């Protein structure tokens, strides 16, 4: 969606235009729903999270500040937090790693997913539990039965690997 | 910036640090441009994590369900908000040091009115209750924007025998706390939650059916659960 179009829609939402919100819903619902589903791992919760997110957008659109980042990032961050809250309430279990390797069609996503596949299973799982399940490194260590230092290393090395690929920088060898 | 601080930054971007460690990183970020630059790079990584999730198809893609749940965005004049706040303080002062009392007291127009006034404020938070034991209930809790008041509305709460009562429980880090006894009103019951401060020290509220006079277990429920509602 063109930036000018997006900002025009956000302005209309601020003024109470329901049709503008529904246009944003049409544009972003799949992304929102996908992030929600990735965390809560069931359709019903994911639908409820997605609806909550757009209701939050409806009531709190003024809190988005374009100077602080992209709208899609802001929206998906709200989605992640809302989904994690749901998970904490329902005490979801660890995601099977193969769920994160599911194929999909979007060209951009293939590129991003390829980077994730360069991580080893422990790195990928630790990052998933931290970022999509809202666990601290201590909680991850307890859940997986691994030393805390090992979990921190997995998180850091995984993030450095992704940073290296996605930002095209050399990561110093350790 | 030392090596140990450097290692915390990617974990901070993931939200994986303890509160204490996160505060250390935030203090570092305020003064260290290199730390700020690194965090910005790791935030690109986390942004890409969001965009890389497998795409799923939603059953609600049409937006019809969203449209059905939209309430008009409204701005209340300051004087109305101030009047609502004053009314809430009067009600809260009356209720806070005692039990919730019977349903008739709790059905005083002020509680229902407070719920409606809070619910129509765009900055309030609405959270659905979750019925337990397949009870045919529904309702929601409204949390005021400043997090200092909360009212629960329940539809379909059945009247109990004289030997029983409903009891509200407030769950915090230490466990459960008695929130008072009340009876049902037909068709809708309103509960003013006795917060004694901000709501955020609680994680959940719940209601159980107890013997008249309240749970024999003191600050723990003994009877069947009716509903719970989580603090958001």
When CB atoms are compared, the residue of A16, A22, A156 closest to B67 is A22
When CB atoms are compared, the residue of A109, A113, A159 closest to B14 is A159
Which residue(s) pair with B217 in the sheet? none
Question: Which stretches of B137-226 are DSSP H helices?
Answer: none
Whether residue A140 and residue B16 make contact (CB cut-off 8 A), yes or no, is yes
pLDDT the model gives residue B59: 78
User: What average pLDDT does range B71-90 have in this prediction?
Assistant: 64
- Minimum distance, in Å, between the CA of residue A16 and any CA atom of chain B: 6
pLDDT the model gives residue B93: 63
pLDDT the model gives residue A13: 93
- Minimum distance, in Å, between the CA of residue B214 and any CA atom of chain A: 27
When CB atoms are compared, the residue of B41, B48, B56 closest to A112 is B48
Instruction: Report helix, strand or coil for B206.
Output: strand
pLDDT the model gives residue B96: 59
pLDDT the model gives residue B218: 74
Each residue's pLDDT tens digit, B90-120 = 766 666 545 554 444 445 557 888 999 999 8
Which chain A residues have a beta carbon less than 8 Å from that of B67?
18, 22
DSSP assignments along A10-65, one per residue: HHHHHTT-HHHHHHHHHHHHHHHHHHHHHHH-SHHHHHHHHHHHHHHHHHHGGG--
pLDDT at B78 over 70: no
B196-B198-B203 Cα angle (round to 5) = 100
pLDDT the model gives residue A94: 44
pLDDT the model gives residue B103: 47
Retrieve residue B2's tokens: 């030392």
Note the Cα A121 to chain centre separation in Å.
19
For chain A, the straight-line distance linking the first and the last C-alpha, in angstroms and rounded, comes to: 42
pLDDT the model gives residue B70: 80
Quote the crossing angle between the two packed helices A71-90 and A43-60, to the nearest 10°.
Answer: 130
Which residue(s) pair with B126 in the sheet? B142
Provide CB contacts within 8 A for B54, sequence distance 6+: A34, A38, A99, A100, A102, A103, A104, A109, A113
Nearest partner of B193 among B208, B204, B209, judged by Cα: B204
Least confident of A6-10, B7-11, B72-76: B72-76
pLDDT at B54 over 60: yes
In B37-194, where do the E strands start and end?
125-128, 130-131, 138-143, 150-155, 164-172, 175-182, 188-192
Q: What is the pTM of this model?
A: 0.56
Verify cis geometry, omega within 30 degrees of 0, for the bond prior to B110: no
Nearest partner of B49 among A73, A107, A52, judged by Cα: A73
What average pLDDT values come out for chain A (174 residues) when binned by 10 residues?
88 92 94 93 89 92 89 95 85 45 41 82 92 93 92 95 77 39
Nearest partner of B189 among B229, B154, B149, B158, judged by Cα: B154
For residues B41 and B90, is the Cβ–Cβ distance under 8 A? no
- Inter-chain contacts counted by CB atoms under 8 A, chains A and B: 153
Provide CB contacts within 8 A for B216, sequence distance 6+: B210, B222
């Amino acid at each position: 969606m063109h930036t000018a179009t997006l900002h025009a829609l956000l302005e209309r939402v601020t003024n109470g235009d329901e049709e503008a919100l529904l246009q944003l819903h049409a544009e972003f619902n799949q992304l929102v729903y996908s992030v929600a589903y990735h965390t809560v791992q069931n359709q019903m919760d994911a639908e409820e999270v997605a609806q909550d997110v757009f209701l939050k957008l409806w009531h709190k659109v003024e809190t988005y500040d374009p100077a602080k980042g992209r709208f899609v990032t802001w929206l998906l961050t709200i989605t992640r937090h809302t989904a994690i809250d749901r998970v904490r309430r329902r005490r979801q279990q660890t995601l099977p790693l193969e769920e994160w390797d599911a194929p999909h069609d979007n060209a951009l996503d293939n590129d991003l997913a390829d980077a994730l596949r360069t991580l080893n299973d422990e790195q990928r799982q630790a990052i998933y539990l931290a970022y999509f399940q809202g666990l601290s490194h201590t909680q991850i260590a307890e859940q997986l039965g691994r030393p805390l230092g090992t979990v921190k290393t997995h998180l850091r090395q995984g993030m450095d690997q992704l940073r290296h690929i996605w930002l095209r920088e050399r990561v110093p060898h350790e | 910036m030392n090596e140990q601080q450097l290692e915390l930054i990617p974990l901070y971007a993931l939200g994986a640090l303890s509160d204490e460690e996160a505060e250390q990183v935030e203090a570092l970020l305020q003064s260290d441009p290199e730390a700020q630059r690194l965090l910005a790079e790791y935030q690109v990584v986390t942004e890409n994590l969001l965009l890389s999730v497998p795409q799923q198809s939603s059953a609600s893609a049409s937006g019809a369900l969203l449209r059905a749940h939209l309430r008009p965005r409204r701005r209340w004049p300051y004087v109305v908000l101030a009047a609502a706040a004053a009314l809430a303080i009067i009600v809260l002062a009356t209720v806070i040091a005692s039990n919730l009392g019977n349903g008739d007291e709790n059905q005083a127009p002020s509680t229902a009115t407070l719920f409606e006034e809070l619910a129509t404020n765009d900055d309030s938070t609405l959270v659905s209750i979750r019925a337990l034991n397949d009870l045919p209930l529904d309702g929601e809790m409204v949390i005021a924007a400043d997090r200092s008041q909360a009212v629960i509305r329940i539809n379909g709460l059945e009247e109990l025998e004289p030997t029983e009562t409903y009891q509200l429980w407030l769950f915090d880090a230490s466990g459960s706390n008695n929130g008072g006894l009340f009876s049902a009103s037909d068709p809708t019951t309103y509960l003013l939650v006795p917060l004694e401060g901000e709501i955020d020290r609680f994680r959940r509220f719940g209601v159980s059916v107890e013997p008249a006079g309240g749970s024999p277990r003191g600050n723990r429920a003994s009877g069947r659960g009716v509903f719970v509602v989580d603090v958001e």
